[in-house]
Amino acid sequence: PPQEAFSRSARYHDSFLIAPDDALMFAQKNTTANGLPEIAVSPAEGKLLHLVACSIGAKRILEIGTLGGYSSIWFGRAVGEGGEVVTCELNAKHVQVARENIVKAGLGNVVKVVEGSAIESLAKMESGDAPFDLVFIDADKENNLPYFLEAKRLTRKGAVIIVDNTVREGQVADLSNTAAPHVGTRKLLAHLKEDTEVSATTISTIGERMWDGFTYILKF
């Protein structure tokens, strides 16, 4: 079916399952108005992330790649009283817009935006006695494997690690396409095959924009 059919289907399902939300709509509009790219997760994906967080009772969530804070807000709504979301973002303008959107959502005390290269920010974090319950990896795909390794280091047993955009219209599986983001995701998949401390699966999704997917990883 044409893309329009997928868009119509998404709108139809969302109309039953995802209540209009002023803060999330503000975040989408403010992100676009500030000229940031339209690459946030869709409402349905945002809600899935929220539901996963609720399902595992996540109180501490790490996100790599904030953009305008759209997915951060979904996570912030999941962690509840005393919970925390730490989200890493390189681009200063994105950080500024995300902070605006997060404060507007009433989550200024829940979602902490860490500005800088995520690799450097993560290296400074200690798993200590407050490990994360859930990690969402959604930044520069070249670094998917290093991000996963840091996510593993910083999480508790039973944590969930979700890596976005691991399908990309099948291009990740097309080895003749050597674009750096795809190579980065292939390195992650090759690692996951051998890593006996996790179990993972990739789910394809058809959203309003394109055929893509995410990889869902459980840490034993």
Out of 30, 89, 145, 185, the residue judged to bind ligand SAM by CB under 6 A: 89
Out of 60, 77, 94, 99, the residue judged to bind ligand SAM by CB under 6 A: 94
Give the Cα separation of 107 and 133 in Å (integer). 19
| Nearer Cβ to ligand SAM (49/200) | 49
The interface with ligand SAM within residues 123-152 (CB under 6 A) comprises 138-140
Distance spanning both ends of the chain, measured CA to CA: 39
Binding status of residue 167 toward ligand SAM by CB under 6 A: no
Give the Cα separation of 160 and 52 in Å (integer). 9
Find the angle CA(49)-CA(63)-CA(15) to the nearest 5 degrees. Answer: 30
Binding status of residue 212 toward ligand SAM by CB under 6 A: no
Q: In this chain, which stretch among 66-74, 101-109, 187-195, 200-208 interacts with ligand SAM, using CB under 6 A?
A: 66-74
Binding status of residue 102 toward ligand SAM by CB under 6 A: no
* 84-89 vs 60-64, strand pairing mode: parallel
Sign of the Cα pseudo-torsion (37, 103, 76, 11, in order) = negative
Beta strands in 14-172 (DSSP E): 60-64, 84-89, 111-115, 132-137, 155-164
Q: Which residues pair with 30 in a beta bridge?
A: none
Out of 52, 70, 83, 192, the residue judged to bind ligand SAM by CB under 6 A: 70
Q: In this chain, which stretch among 83-91, 99-107, 173-181, 191-199 interacts with ligand SAM, using CB under 6 A?
A: 83-91
CB of 49 to ligand SAM, least distance (A): 8
Binding status of residue 117 toward ligand SAM by CB under 6 A: yes
Q: Which amino acid is at 100?
A: E
Q: Is residue 25 classed exposed, middle or buried when 0-12, 13-18 and 19+ CB atoms within 10 A define those classes?
A: exposed
Residue 135 DSSP class: E
- Total binding residues for ligand SAM by CB under 6 A? 18
| Nearer Cβ to ligand SAM (130/180) | 180
Binding status of residue 173 toward ligand SAM by CB under 6 A: no
Name the nearest CA neighbour of 94 among 86, 85, 102: 102
Binding status of residue 28 toward ligand SAM by CB under 6 A: no
Binding site for ligand SAM (CB under 6 A): 39-41, 65-67, 70-71, 88-91, 94, 117-118, 138-140
